[in-house]
Chain A
Amino acid sequence: MKSRVYTLLFMAAVGLACGTALAVTLSLTRGRIATNEKADGLRHVLRVLGIRFDPAAGPEKLLSVFRACVEVDDSGGAVLYRCRKGGAVGAVALPVQGPGLWGEIRGLVALEPDMRTIRAVSFYQHEETPGLGGDISTAWFQQRFEGRSTLDSRGRRGIRIVRVPGARGPNEIDGITGATMTCRKLETLINEALARLDREATP
């Protein structure tokens, strides 16, 4: 007769067996997965700095390309990625992150060597509404930033994401219809990163 005690012992055994199997698996794969995730993040840096790399490259290859072509500058508070060779030499990629509408937005803003004009952007991690705010990770939206200035007509630092089709000033960028809040949050976090850059650059 299968008593309650037996059921309890059986479930404990099943739990132990499954737990052990998973613990072993995770300890075996942890290192490799961490490398993969790190290398995946590097893709975005390489892309905004215009460094050419094979899209199918494995994590080791990406790491070696990164080490050869990018100089990591963490002398200030924020980490900056400066292109040494293989792409837009002298361009600097500035990590940006902050709260979006639904979750954190993470990205990179690459500035030309003049530290004023935007070379490219990448907003690669977010939890915005798919099809609306979520379009900040699309190429067609990110392309709007290329060549725009981070200074307005009076020389003040900051970009503005405006309602479509309203971009007129040198630092204005057309937003996404139906994603006003996401665009506002994005504008804020980019400007905060730029302000921090200015603060740390000033001796």
Chain B
Amino acid sequence: MSDATPQLPKQGARATLVDGLWRNHPVSVQILGICSALAVTNRLESALVMGGALCLVTTCSCTMVSLLRRYVPRRVRLIVEVAVISTFVIIFDQFLKAQYYGMSKQLGPYVGLIITNCIVMGRAEAFALNHPPGLAALDGLANGAGYALVLAVIGLARELLGTGAVMGVTLLSADWYTPNRLCVLGPGAFLAIGFLIALVNALRRRGAGEGEA
């Protein structure tokens, strides 16, 4: 009896996209990848780079894992996933250090920590192993983009409310707005994510209610 991984029935490309971006959103629904979502969102620029990095890594890793899915022995599949993910992350990290050294220093250890990000490994294990490369890539892209979107929103909110400026442009002038320092610190991040998850849940519940009515 072969111990190749079982192949699930195909699901459409559109369903895959919608899942990653909304219905099964990695951060607000699956509650994954919270640590980095808290750590790098104190500035919008960092949040965007981090979101882009994770999106890229997830897409590439899921594609690669999917390509290997018929050849990977079940027992070592997690090790193979980690190896693939690590390789992509380190390549990206090196590229960042070479081309955007300042940003690399700002993000600190968090680019390297993408290896441990539950979203990447989670999608590789839960989806990429059981679906063809095209869908796996799309799923990786959708989940990564969903994560990047959340990071961008939180980054925008935290930087705007915490400093009054966004990416160098002062929107809330110091004349009348006292920057809320809590936003750029840890507790502010927790609160921001909490509010976001609550909002998403409320919207989803209302949507489901209307559908049933």
Where the two chains meet, the residues of A that have a C-beta atom closer than 8 Å to any C-beta of B are: 1-2, 6-7, 10-11, 14-15, 18, 21-22, 25-26, 29, 32-33, 36-37, 40, 56, 59
B150 in contact (CB, < 8 A):
no
Contact of B71 among A10, A21, A26, A40 (CB under 8 A): A10
Given A22-B90, A59-B101, check contact A15 B75 (CB 8 Å): no
CB of B173 closer than 8 Å to a CB of A: no
B97 near A36 with CB under 8 A, answer: yes
Q: Which of A2, A11, A26, A40 contacts B101 (CB 8 A)?
A: A40
Chain B, interface size category, equals 20 to 34
Q: A1-B2, A7-B73 are in contact. Are A33 and B98 (CB under 8 A)?
A: yes
Interface residues of B (CB under 8 A from A): 1-4, 71-73, 75-76, 79-80, 83-84, 86-87, 90-91, 94-95, 97-99, 101-102, 105
The reply to whether B73 and A32 contact each other, CB–CB distance below 8 Å, is no
Are B101 and A25 touching (Cβ within 8 A)?
no
13 further contact pairs, Cβ within 8 A, besides A10-B76, A25-B95, A29-B97: A1-B3, A7-B76, A10-B71, A11-B79, A14-B80, A14-B83, A14-B84, A15-B83, A18-B83, A25-B91, A29-B95, A32-B99, A33-B98
Q: Tell which of A7, A15, A18, A33 touches B94, judged by Cβ atoms closer than 8 Å.
A: A33
Tell me the minimal C-beta distance from B139 to chain A in angstroms.
Answer: 22
Main secondary structure of the interface of A (DSSP, over half): helix
A1 to B76, CA, bound (A): 15
A22 to B85, CA, bound (A): 12
Q: Which residues of B contact A1 (CB under 8 A)?
A: 1-3
**Interface contact A2-B98, CB-CB below 8 Å:** no
* Nearest chain B CB to A67 CB, angstrom units: 19
Q: Which B residues are in CB contact (< 8 Å) with A56?
A: 102
**Residues on B with beta carbons closer than 8 Å to the beta carbon of A25:** 90-91, 94-95
| Chain B, Cβ-Cβ closest to A20 | B87
